[in-house]
Structure 1
Amino acid sequence: MSISLVKGQKIDLTKGNAGLTHITVGLGWDPVEVESKGFFSRKKVAANVDCDASALMLDANGKLSQEGHLICFYNLTSPCGSVKHSGDNLTGEGDGDDEQIHIALEKVPADVHRILMCVNIYDCESRGQDFGMIKSAFIRVVNSKNSQELIRFNLTENYAGMTALIVGEIYRHNGEWKFNAIGEGAHAVHIDILAQRYT
């Protein structure tokens, strides 16, 4: 049974799920509908917002532990192969996960203590877009072996004016893996700019 989390809540992943070694972190969102004026009529259409999910592999000091530990649309796999990105979804339309990050927990290097999940809006400055144009954003963690959803965190705050979201993190604690629901907005027009906070 999936557990719904609230902002700031932390929960064990591996302690209560014996044998959990592979997880899929699904991130999803929907563009809000905007009014489109035609010659004779007005109709509501989905805003064309391209969101990109990313994972930052951080050390005990909260820093990117090595080059290649930013997993995103232009670097789909970590050097060790423990974290893999599903690839870029350009629209966010449709049900279910828009982008996924696959993590082999037992392969994550010992110097990686946290895997931070973020979402940015691609080319947000020139398009004049922010997370006020996104609705129904969520992050969920699934057992990759049986597709069972373990946890879900729905982001319900108003993130208008924000161009990046720090959604949640998977982190080590006493030899186990846990999840922290963060849900924090940020001003960063590109994932590389957000990543600079962690260098």
Structure 2
Amino acid sequence: MAISLQKGQKVDLTKGRSGLTSLMVGLGWDPVTPDKPKGLLGGLFGGGGAPNIDCDASVLLLDENGKLTNKNNLIYFGNKTSADGSVRHSGDNLTGDGDGDDEQVVINLNAVSPSIHKMVFVVNIYSAVSRKQDFGMIRNAFIRIVNNSTGEELIHFNLSDNYSGLTSLFAGEIYRHNGEWKFNAVGDGTKDTTITEIANKYI
């Protein structure tokens, strides 16, 4: 049974799970429906359907100093595989419609370069400024971690804060600690508007 986390909690992933070598990280979200307007939704979209909000999930692979030292270690829809081949992105979901994961990232833990100490999972809204969109228009955002070999969900973290006015979400981190991998439920929002803007913070 999956562990349901609260913001700021840290849990072991591999400790006590010697056979855990492949992870699937699923990220999901839904547009707010018209009967529950938030922020600018009512004025912008009137009585029509839920807005078309294109959220993009990305992963930054950082060294022990928290730096992005190789541009190929920024994993997103435009670069789906890490430099060492250990991290693969499923591709872009343009709407967020439907149940379950909207985008997925598969990680082969045994193939992660020893130079990589942290993987930061971020979701940002594509063209947020020009479309006048923010995460106040998104609901049911989550990140979950699954044993990719068995399909067992290990961790589930619902991002339930009020993110109105914010355009990027730092969902969680997988990081090395004493020879094992752990997960940190971050759940912080920022006003960064592009993945390039986010990545530049780590260079």
Structure 1 length normalisation: TM-score?
Answer: 0.95
Amino acid at match of 2:123: V
SS of the residue 2:8 aligns to: coil
Amino acid at match of 2:121: M
Q: Give 1:109's aligned residue.
A: 113
CA shift at 1:44, angstroms?
A: 5.2
- Once the two structures are superposed, the pairs formed by residues 48-197 of structure 1 within 5 Å of their partners are 48-197=52-201
**Cα displacement string for residues 135-168 of structure 1 (whole angstroms, at most 9, x for unaligned residues):** 0000000000011100000001000000100110
Identical aligned pairs, as a percentage?
Answer: 58
- Paired with 1:61 and 1:32, the residues of 2 have a C-alpha distance of 38
CA shift at 1:187, angstroms?
A: 1.1
Amino acid at match of 2:194: H
Amino acid at match of 2:138: I
Q: How many equivalent pairs are there?
A: 195
Amino acid at match of 1:138: F
Q: CA RMSD in A?
A: 1.4
Q: Give 1:32's aligned residue.
A: 32
- Paired with 2:91 and 2:63, the residues of 1 have a C-alpha distance of 25
Contact 1:33 1:44 in 2 (8 A): no
**Cα displacement string for residues 85-135 of structure 1 (whole angstroms, at most 9, x for unaligned residues):** 000000000010000011001111001000000000001111000000000
CA shift at 1:45, angstroms?
A: 1.7
Give unpaired runs (5+ residues) of structure 1. Answer: none
- Paired with 1:158 and 1:44, the residues of 2 have a C-alpha distance of 24
Structure 2 length normalisation: TM-score?
Answer: 0.93
**Cα displacement string for residues 19-74 of structure 1 (whole angstroms, at most 9, x for unaligned residues):** 1000000000000013699xxxx745211100000000001111113221100010
- Paired with 1:134 and 1:152, the residues of 2 have a C-alpha distance of 18
- Paired with 1:77 and 1:190, the residues of 2 have a C-alpha distance of 19
- Paired with 2:17 and 2:185, the residues of 1 have a C-alpha distance of 19
Q: Find runs of 4+ consecutive structure 1 residues off by over 4 angstroms.
A: none
Give unpaired runs (5+ residues) of structure 2. Answer: 36-40
Q: Give 1:16's aligned residue.
A: 16
Amino acid at match of 2:64: A
Q: Give 1:2's aligned residue.
A: 2
Amino acid at match of 2:68: L
Worse overlay, 151-160 or 10-19: 10-19
Contact 1:115 1:169 in 2 (8 A): yes
Contact 1:65 1:112 in 2 (8 A): no
- The structure carrying a bigger strand percent of its residues is 1
Worse overlay, 12-21 or 176-185: 12-21
